[in-house]
Structure 1
Amino acid sequence: MKNEKGTIVLAGGVIGLIAAILVFFGNPANMGFCIACFLRDTTGALGLHSAAAVQYIRPEIIGLVLGACIISLVKKEFRPRGGSAPVTRFTLGAFVMIGCLMFLGCPFRMILRLAGGDGNALFGLVGFVAGILTGTIFLKKGYTLKRSYKMPKLEGSIYPAFQIVMLLLLAAAPAFIHFTEPEGGPGAKHAAIIIALAAGIIVGILAQRTRLCMVGGIRDAVLFKEYKLLFGFAAILVTALVMNLILGAVTGTSYFNPGFAGQPIAHTDGLWNALGMYLAGFGCILLGGCPLRQLILAGEGNTDSAVTVLGLMAGAAFAHNFGLASSGEGPTANGKIAVIIGIVVVAVIAAVNSMRKEEA
């Protein structure tokens, strides 16, 4: 067990290091990795939303899926499964994304924002933990989306293959793919393709081998008093923080700016930061993992997770097409309504799937 914990901590340390370096190489500040933001950018690049500031096919997403796929094939862990409540998973994925875009980041970016000194992420963390704790109540009551089933290898290979297509589209940059104009917004800030892709592959391999998942870490701590996954995210926080301080000292550019006001791609509305991540945490625990974990599972051939990722992308499209996403100015009225609706919908899903009897 000690060796397993050490491996998880080491992997978390490497991931935190990579995340900080990606910012140095061009990714937006406090956004070396953000699954929600990167899926949103990719969604925009495909023309599924028209927010010109956030349109770019993110190689990190491609790398995460392909890294997980490659290592699962090597380790003979590529086992396609699916068929467990796909519409429910799609719906939960969409609302998780809406919660993340209220906060302006996924659980991964929440940790990186803390490592960059963003105090607003503390409100997100409180809400996120509260959402997970709410979800564990339903887990204890028997919540389930029922079993998944073995799928043909071709079925499990479709989503990883789609990522190869996305890489080709990124490299070819045809006219029908949308890219944020230089200096046009966060979508224009990115590391070189080869650097971002390599980073994604490495993190995908590490996350697949260690099963890193912040939702799973908090869930396991509450239900089983098992903390090893949380140690991995603590290592990400510490390593990213130390690397930010080192980069600041070496380059003369500040990568660590403690405080609340003026944080990059963030707002200071504590209540809605907390409620956005409450929705994300609540939805993620019902899905069985955070957005990062869903991508890794999709790379392993899990079609339920692939459907969830498509739900996340649909949520990003809804958020930007209907004015639900927050900005540095704060949350929108539409976004607040959507988060409240999302909390209600997720609670209903949790309740119904906790009370439902096993089908004969």
Structure 2
Amino acid sequence: MNDSTTKKETILIIAAGLIIGAIAVGLVFFGNPANMGFCIACFIRDTTGALGFHSAAAVQYIRPEIVGLVLGAFILALVTKEFKPRGGSAPVTRFVIAMFVMIGCLMFLGCPFRMILRLAGGDFNALFGILGFVGGILLGVVFLKKGYTLKRSYSMQKTEGTIFTVLQLVILALLVAAPAFIHFTETDGGPGAKHAAIGISLVAGLVVGALAQRTRLCMVGGIRDVVLFGEWKLLSGFLAILVAAFIGNAILGFWNPGFAGQPIAHTDGLWNALGMALAGFGCVLLGGCPMRQLVLAGEGNTDSAVAVIGLAAGAAIAHNFGLASSAEGPTANGKAAVLVGIVVLLVIAACNSIRKKGAA
């Protein structure tokens, strides 16, 4: 790839990041929780609760942004002929890894995307999350260098790659119809009660999904590429999200610098760091952050669809067993789960690493 092509791709990624950052702040303006205009982990958790898989009443709402993100990636993949269903690469292992990624995110109270948005809103607790996240990615890179792989995937029928997207349409229909068996957080009952209008959220998700599909935007991949290849292209997109969200927050009066009193956050620096270390490590083993997994699932990748289901299972487990943090801080169960998760991922990484020839 020549320098001209790389420069054009970098400009496109930065432009996409600026748009996505502005959209995230706009969603807060239209009703989403503060510093949570777009959070993959939180929104999967809310949707999981709305479907009845956990009973935490404060976080139950079908988030149209998730549906839109998958649909946006799906539509653009069809248009660009990049819809190529594949799967079959260690699905159970991916499920387990994704489950612990979500547990790590809910220790921190946010995914990598929200980590950037929290910092852009003045929540300096996100700095500890970033430190842990980078540390987890560096640990994952060690295993990549040792030959870590979950083996190859295989081509699948288009119907197989479409099922996950169809399920998103079903979930959207359940949101609009709002049958009695779907759970919604009551007004002022918690983060689940704060949301932009369905149409606004859906369109926002479509745009973000299309942009993320086109640019391959992934914070984990960005940091990994900087470490392995000195390539800043992907990471520049998230830096652009940070800049755009910061400017938007400043203009709209959402900028609130400090550690204490931040929305849907706690001040335990150690566990903020360890939670995101677990998430970062797991994302490297999966091959992408939660947003990237949703985009790939939209492109027909059934391995990523399994990972998303693992994220949902992790959210249900975290809230059913008291693992998720709150504004009061992390729970004892959550701390134990994060430590267990780090050990489990170390075992998975070691078992799936192949010593390179000539290595000591």
1:34-113 paired onto structure 2 within 5 Å: 34-113=39-118
Give the Cα separation in 2 of the matches to 1:122 and 1:356: 35
- Report the alpha carbon displacement of residue 200 of structure 1 after superposing the two structures with TM: 0.2
Give the Cα separation in 2 of the matches to 1:2 and 1:164: 37
Contact 2:120 2:243 in 1 (8 A): yes
The amino acid of 1:158's aligned partner reads I
Corresponding position of 2:3 = none
- Report the alpha carbon displacement of residue 74 of structure 1 after superposing the two structures with TM: 0.5
Give the Cα separation in 1 of the matches to 2:65 and 2:202: 5
Give the Cα separation in 2 of the matches to 1:64 and 1:81: 19
Give the Cα separation in 1 of the matches to 2:286 and 2:185: 32
Corresponding position of 1:269 = 268
Contact 2:41 2:290 in 1 (8 A): yes
Q: Residues 7-39 of structure 1: CA distance to partner in whole angstroms, max 9, x if unpaired?
A: 000000000000000000000000000000000
1:76-225 paired onto structure 2 within 5 Å: 76-225=81-230
1:347 corresponds to 2:352:
no
Give the Cα separation in 1 of the matches to 2:142 and 2:83: 32
Contact 2:85 2:300 in 1 (8 A): yes
The amino acid of 1:351's aligned partner reads A
- Report the alpha carbon displacement of residue 356 of structure 1 after superposing the two structures with TM: 8.0
Give the Cα separation in 1 of the matches to 2:113 and 2:72: 18
Give the Cα separation in 2 of the matches to 1:57 and 1:108: 19
The amino acid of 1:331's aligned partner reads P
Give the Cα separation in 1 of the matches to 2:287 and 2:223: 12
Query: 33, 40, 49: which is aligned to 2:38?
Result: 33
SS of structure 2 residue aligned to 1:164: helix
- Structure 2, unaligned runs of 5 or more: 1-5
Give the Cα separation in 2 of the matches to 1:26 and 1:148: 40
Corresponding position of 1:251 = none
Corresponding position of 1:330 = 329
Corresponding position of 1:252 = none
- Report the alpha carbon displacement of residue 247 of structure 1 after superposing the two structures with TM: 1.0
- Report the alpha carbon displacement of residue 177 of structure 1 after superposing the two structures with TM: 0.5
Displacement over 6 Å in runs of 4+: none
Q: Residues 177-224 of structure 1: CA distance to partner in whole angstroms, max 9, x if unpaired?
A: 000001100000000000000000000000000000000000011111
Structure 2 length-normalised TM: 0.97
Corresponding position of 1:303 = 302
SS of structure 1 residue aligned to 2:181: coil
* Percent identity of equivalent pairs: 77
Give the Cα separation in 1 of the matches to 2:95 and 2:218: 19
Corresponding position of 1:237 = 242
Alignment root-mean-square deviation, CA: 1.0
1:245-256 paired onto structure 2 within 5 Å: 245-248=250-253, 255-256=254-255
The amino acid of 1:61's aligned partner reads I
Corresponding position of 1:260 = 259
1:281 corresponds to 2:290:
no
- Report the alpha carbon displacement of residue 332 of structure 1 after superposing the two structures with TM: 0.1
Give the Cα separation in 1 of the matches to 2:341 and 2:354: 20
- Report the alpha carbon displacement of residue 59 of structure 1 after superposing the two structures with TM: 0.2
Give the Cα separation in 2 of the matches to 1:282 and 1:333: 22
Number of matched residues? 352
Corresponding position of 1:13 = 18
- Report the alpha carbon displacement of residue 94 of structure 1 after superposing the two structures with TM: 0.2
The amino acid of 1:264's aligned partner reads P
SS of structure 1 residue aligned to 2:61: coil
Structure 1 length-normalised TM: 0.97
The amino acid of 1:341's aligned partner reads V
Contact 2:146 2:355 in 1 (8 A): no
Give the Cα separation in 2 of the matches to 1:8 and 1:261: 33
Query: 3, 8, 27: which is aligned to 2:8?
Result: 3
Q: Residues 131-175 of structure 1: CA distance to partner in whole angstroms, max 9, x if unpaired?
A: 000000000000000000001000000000001001100000000
